[in-house]
Structure 1
């Protein structure tokens, strides 16, 4: 077996550089009537409903259509709803299903809307204020619409909201913002699914943000095999800097090459799953970002199958766990676990291939780490017992570390490989 030893500084330097950084969602600026910023050209619909029990249905076919809908309801019947359909195939001789625009505003309790667009360069903006809201957006279909360069934004204020955005073909963008404080922004669910067909396949963007406790976010970006596409970007934030949140669930699944996934969770009892199938991908999770000593009991699982991938996890607090698996060549994994004043943290890194690098840094007391590497030219660095700033030496120690490095032709029982996509949520 070939052994490679590098210093911590050498491990910190390498080719694992990515241009993009985590993004943020700007609140929707709702338009109540046509403006110069709206795409208007063909048919035009403007519906303004006040009171209770209002329904709105809009169907527009062709190019450069615009639909504006505003509903304000009280609680009688607990029901306002909207159904918008803008459709038409994009074919070489026609631009039908192109440059359509839909703007939806709902105030009150029990609102829901469904918006569907076919074709290219369409936009949907939907805002809901109140309780128990539901929004479903569909842009494109697998056949026959191309559905490129579409934009969907959903903004929900309240608790127990549900938002789903499905986009097909390539180079689409989706954002879901479910907001309120920790008391009211509870139990929201968001689902974003983006699938690319092998036309231009420039990559999708999915951004989700949820405030409050016990929220769930799932982002699925499927580009097929790496040869057919990739360059997807997924970003989810659960909680905010002023109102810490707990009990969050996030899952990000990407296929293709050069994808990026970021998950940020702010306090305790949070779970994050990331799975990337392909090469040159990057997965990053940050939990208990405020570094609160009361935060902890968080879980991260990162799974990558391909070459030149990077997985990073950072956790603050107590009793946290990270599991990382990488299969392929020239992959890099890193775990940073801080605090650990009450109960230690655990980190596991499994790498199967060659020329892989694993780095684990754990602070304070009672931590456990395990590295299992199969193949040639592997590197493992574990740093434990780093004291907390301003704390006595008794807050550090009693750590445990295990490193197993085996050549691929050595008959030792490998770690069990986790099945892909086993953690996917379905709503």
Structure 2
């Protein structure tokens, strides 16, 4: 029997487990180890709460977790409760599928002011992540700035702009729903260094902004190149730019919130008296290679809340080679060291969609199959159980997670699939009932 430990139970971890099952059949035991008592990672805490159709992929992961050769080992911190070298001594292969949960910092003056938050923290707050449940972002001011031109920036702008009724059917955390209902933000400004043709926004997410009850998206027609240039774009991007052109052409409508797309806008400082009050922006232009070039023209965007959506990085783990410049584990096509691998964002950096992790997991499973010839006789799950028991670690199994899931469904408000527990203690308590 081969023993494989997968660190992280998000999409990359589950796709790796699925692939390893197909590669080894009944000749493998897989432990999915997660520091939280709940599985699914990015699906639970990263996907927007009003995108329930995307979250439905967790049912596929559940089928993997319920196979006899897979265990969920929750509430176990790798690097805290158990080290990577200890896992390598117990398993034939250890796969790091930890994702990229940490925000890349916005390295400008004032980025440490109160009111400046990274998207991982803000998204975690409205998704009920235990690390960010107490964030309390400032929503009393009239302006918010969202730095970035990707789908995460769109999610943040949309969540800030919706009515309570528009969250029906979502699993947004109750504390966020109450705070957003009381929000006084009237203008959300999306700041992007380049122009409409350089966005990283997909058509579906952009199109949603055009149907919000209390908010209207606005784009300056002067920011676009000539319409004929759109024909050179790939089809998906062409659809996204078409949405932006529609926003620019739409007549003004009196709504409580405006979502302004401020292109060719590079934040250079955040100012305020102990807290964010404004973002100082420098106007940019594109050079011949489509890079943003500062022009020297500056202006201020009022904002008591600044959410930075400029990328993520994988947190280092002691003893694991790391590429600080790229924010990921140092690896060669998924191999880090003998017996140690990485997948997903921990391997590639924060790029691609949830589905991109599936071929990634299958590729690493093939590497493991090529590298592991025979049963090594290592301790595997039994050895891990003994080690964690000796350290009094309160392990959460998948059946315990199912109790948490049932309790969250039972306490859901009308129209919502669940009301998440937002503290680890609450999760543990629910798992033992």
Return the TM-score normalized by structure 1: 0.23
Q: Which one has a larger percent strand, Structure 1 or Structure 2?
A: 1
Return the TM-score normalized by structure 2: 0.22
Q: Which one has a larger percent helix, Structure 1 or Structure 2?
A: 2
